[in-house]
Chain A
Amino acid sequence: MLRYIGRRILIAIPTLIIVSVLVFALQKLLPGDPVLTMAGEERDPQVLAYLREKYRLDDPIPVQYFAWISSALTGNLGISLRTDIPVLDLIMSKLPVTIELAIMAMIVALAIGIPTGIISAVKKGTTVDYTANVIALSGLSIPNFWLGIMLIMLISVRWKLLPASGYVPPTEDLWLNIKTMLMPAFVLGTGLAASLMRHTRSAMLGVMRSDYIRTARAKGLLSRKVILKHALRNALVPIVTLSTLLFGELLAGAVLTEQIFTIPGFGKLIVDAVFNRDYAVVQGVVLCTAVGFIFMNLLADVLYVLVNPRLRHAA
């Protein structure tokens, strides 16, 4: 198992290198000059030259890349061109917010998606199944931002049940924290719930036709046990992998959701950084996201083996 994980990590290294080059190159290809942005109104050539010197923007691009990547490897992602705060500190202060949002959204997605998927598969071809499918399809088709705005209008503005925006750290007030995160997590989670539901349904339908389900029934096991033990356990194999990969998708969805609910998270950080041409921050954030993605893929591979005994020995 450890060897398998080790091998997976080794495979991740070239991916990381490619990602870092791409991130860096994209930055350089983007139009706009960060120095001009920083200098603001006064375009004194001396100031501009000083800034270029300070941030080493005049060095050849490969030199800049190696300078950046070697300090990145030591945990130094540079300093925000805009705020003079180290990029790593910025990321570390925003990341927990987004992770909290992503985890809560994932819980929402799993709690809705898997049970409805199972019910829909078991009741295949009935009204229950069709209803679930229609709701899932709507869940997939309704854009996050629209659902978010509607929820804010209804729940926050009209019924005044939950706060419309903002963020309170859980260390400060856990209850208020949950209240502020509830709507964003729901908005972010529903789209995933829909795709989880569809996948659970088809995985369950496939498994329910297996010979070993017939064997389980031949033993006299009751439907509940046949479905929840014998079928679900096997249907979960693809679902676990999918959920881990969806986690990456969550990060992307978080950018939009954080904008709607003005949550000071990772997504907001990157949007602001792009608008401000804060190269160092954009690079840092994208690199972090890429690492996160690769990590989730690694996790998916490992979980896949864990839930699938047939692969444990091969691993």
Chain B
Amino acid sequence: MGHEAVRQPITEAHTPQTIATSAQPLLNVQGLSVRFDGAPKGVNVVDDVSFSVSKGKTLCIVGESGCGKSVTSLALMGLLPTPPARIVGGSAMFDGQDLLTLTERERADLRGDRMAMIFQEPMTSLNPAFTIGDQIAEGIVRHRRVSKAEAMERALDMLKKVRIPAPEKRLRAYPHEMSGGMRQRVMIAMALANDPQLLIADEPTTALDVTIQAQILTLIRRLQEETGTAMILITHDLGVVAEVADEVAVMYAGRVVESGPVEAIFEDPQHPYTIGLMGSVPSLGRRQGRLATIRGTVPPAELMPKGCRFTPRCPFADTRCANDPPPLAEIKPGHRARCWYAPLEIHRGAAS
């Protein structure tokens, strides 16, 4: 029982509490749960998700497709289609106010102004019927007391900022006249046009060519440094995480299974899922046998275990794991893992 001192549950389900950190985080999400109508009882697509982002910092949310990353970000933006989605618990304190209790009008006032989002699909995210300039400018006019002409000026500045060649010409271009990479630059210009405090980027490079991916990522990174915007970057690419993250939250089947500073996650991963994830990154170094994979797949909602959702795929799982959901516990300062046996070297040292 000596390990009880090490483990301190940070959150109990649905009882939000603020963690005292040195700086007040810009966004503090506690116990966020989202349910889709028609899903089996008690199985939330996003379940008891907690994380926080500080001013100017980058939080990467990592996980395989379908783990609830996008749903989480859409819920924060207030863009989830309700129904079928329903936010059933939690809080999201953004600069002193709980996003989840705001009225739709208040949220619309925040969206595109103090918090903005970039989406995964640049090819379909721009309206084909309007020019680039019009689409950037309308977001500015919506939140700022400026004339249409001034907004267009600002739109032009933004196009220059995201390094679009011949920006004057592009202002009058339609989306179909541009490539995916250029459209994603436009989306970035649009998102940053009102100097948001928080930028949510949902897999912004996934749909792009590999060569373009790096450019876009560098661009986002540079603009973030220039403007001091906090960013939540959603990705499944651990290479990207290593490069840009300050903090990391690893999600599995709708839950955050591990979170902490990027160094801690990479150097000392604690959750078996995170460890598996690290093992499945191909590297250019000397090959040592087969690329490690996590056996099995994410269980469908109706087969979701009552306890830890990783149980069916976990090499260390036992009956307790299957029946009792572990809390997201702090195992080292700032480093949390949702596993009964974290830290693994203490509990399973012999086994692993």
Q: Which residues of A are in contact with B by a Cβ distance under 8 Å?
A: 210-212, 214-222, 230, 233-234, 307-310, 313
**Contact at A234–B127, with CB atoms within 8 Å?**
yes
- Alpha-carbon distance A230/B130, docked complex (angstroms): 9
The 25 sampled A-B contact pairs (Cβ below 8 Å) are: A210-B124, A212-B124, A212-B127, A215-B119, A215-B125, A215-B190, A218-B77, A218-B79, A218-B112, A219-B190, A220-B108, A220-B109, A220-B111, A220-B112, A221-B108, A221-B142, A222-B105, A230-B127, A233-B130, A234-B129, A309-B128, A309-B174, A309-B176, A310-B128, A310-B176
A233 neighbours in B (Cβ, 8 Å):
127, 129-130
- Given A310-B174, A310-B176, the answer on whether A219 and B127 have CB atoms closer than 8 Å is no
- Given A220-B139, A220-B142, A310-B174, the answer on whether A215 and B126 have CB atoms closer than 8 Å is yes
**Contact at B125–A214, with CB atoms within 8 Å?**
yes
B143 neighbours in A (Cβ, 8 Å):
220
- Given A220-B143, A233-B130, the answer on whether A215 and B108 have CB atoms closer than 8 Å is no
B3, chain A: closest CB distance, angstroms? 45
Is B265 an interface residue when CB atoms closer than 8 A count as contact? Answer: no
Is B138 an interface residue when CB atoms closer than 8 A count as contact? Answer: yes
**Contact at B121–A211, with CB atoms within 8 Å?**
yes
- Alpha-carbon distance A216/B112, docked complex (angstroms): 9
**Contact at B121–A309, with CB atoms within 8 Å?**
no
B114, chain A: closest CB distance, angstroms? 9
**Contact at B79–A217, with CB atoms within 8 Å?**
yes
B339 neighbours in A (Cβ, 8 Å):
none
B121 neighbours in A (Cβ, 8 Å):
211
Report B168-198 CB contacts with A as 1/0, cut-off 8 Å: 0000001011000000000100110000000
A308 neighbours in B (Cβ, 8 Å):
128-129
B53, chain A: closest CB distance, angstroms? 18
Q: Is the interface of A mostly helix, strand, loop or mixed?
A: helix
Is B203 an interface residue when CB atoms closer than 8 A count as contact? Answer: no
**9 other A-B residue contacts (CB within 8 Å) besides A215-B126, A217-B79, A219-B139:** A210-B124, A212-B126, A216-B127, A218-B119, A219-B142, A220-B110, A220-B139, A230-B127, A309-B129
Interface centre among A217, A219, A222, A234 (most CB of B within 10 A): A219
- Alpha-carbon distance A301/B130, docked complex (angstroms): 20
B290, chain A: closest CB distance, angstroms? 38
Of the four ranges (under 10, 10 to 19, 20 to 34, 35 or more), the interface on chain B belongs to 20 to 34
B126 neighbours in A (Cβ, 8 Å):
212, 215
Q: Identify the closest chain A residue to B143 (Cβ).
A: A220
B133, chain A: closest CB distance, angstroms? 13
- Alpha-carbon distance A40/B119, docked complex (angstroms): 80
* One of A211, A218, A309, A313 near B111 (C-beta < 8 A): A218
Is B117 an interface residue when CB atoms closer than 8 A count as contact? Answer: yes
- Alpha-carbon distance A307/B143, docked complex (angstroms): 28
**Contact at B113–A212, with CB atoms within 8 Å?**
no
Is B116 an interface residue when CB atoms closer than 8 A count as contact? Answer: yes
B176 neighbours in A (Cβ, 8 Å):
309-310
- Given A211-B119, A215-B187, the answer on whether A222 and B127 have CB atoms closer than 8 Å is no
- Alpha-carbon distance A220/B79, docked complex (angstroms): 10
Q: Identify the closest chain A residue to B174 (Cβ).
A: A309
* One of A218, A309, A310 near B116 (C-beta < 8 A): A218
**Contact at A219–B79, with CB atoms within 8 Å?**
no
Interface centre among A210, A212, A217, A220 (most CB of B within 10 A): A220
B108 neighbours in A (Cβ, 8 Å):
217, 220-222
A143, chain B: closest CB distance, angstroms? 38
B116 neighbours in A (Cβ, 8 Å):
218
Q: Identify the closest chain A residue to B116 (Cβ).
A: A218
A310 neighbours in B (Cβ, 8 Å):
128, 174, 176
B85, chain A: closest CB distance, angstroms? 13
A159, chain B: closest CB distance, angstroms? 46
A220 neighbours in B (Cβ, 8 Å):
108-113, 139, 142-143
- Alpha-carbon distance A238/B141, docked complex (angstroms): 30
- Alpha-carbon distance A7/B218, docked complex (angstroms): 48
Q: Identify the closest chain B residue to A212 (Cβ).
A: B127
- Alpha-carbon distance A273/B237, docked complex (angstroms): 76
**Contact at B187–A221, with CB atoms within 8 Å?**
no
Within B128-151, which residues are at the interface with A (CB < 8 Å)? Answer: 128-130, 138-139, 142-143
A74, chain B: closest CB distance, angstroms? 44
- Alpha-carbon distance A186/B198, docked complex (angstroms): 54
Q: Identify the closest chain A residue to B123 (Cβ).
A: A211
Interface centre among B105, B116, B127, B176 (most CB of A within 10 A): B127
A103, chain B: closest CB distance, angstroms? 27
B79, chain A: closest CB distance, angstroms? 6
- Alpha-carbon distance A91/B111, docked complex (angstroms): 60
- Alpha-carbon distance A310/B126, docked complex (angstroms): 13
* One of A210, A211, A219 near B112 (C-beta < 8 A): A219
A240, chain B: closest CB distance, angstroms? 12
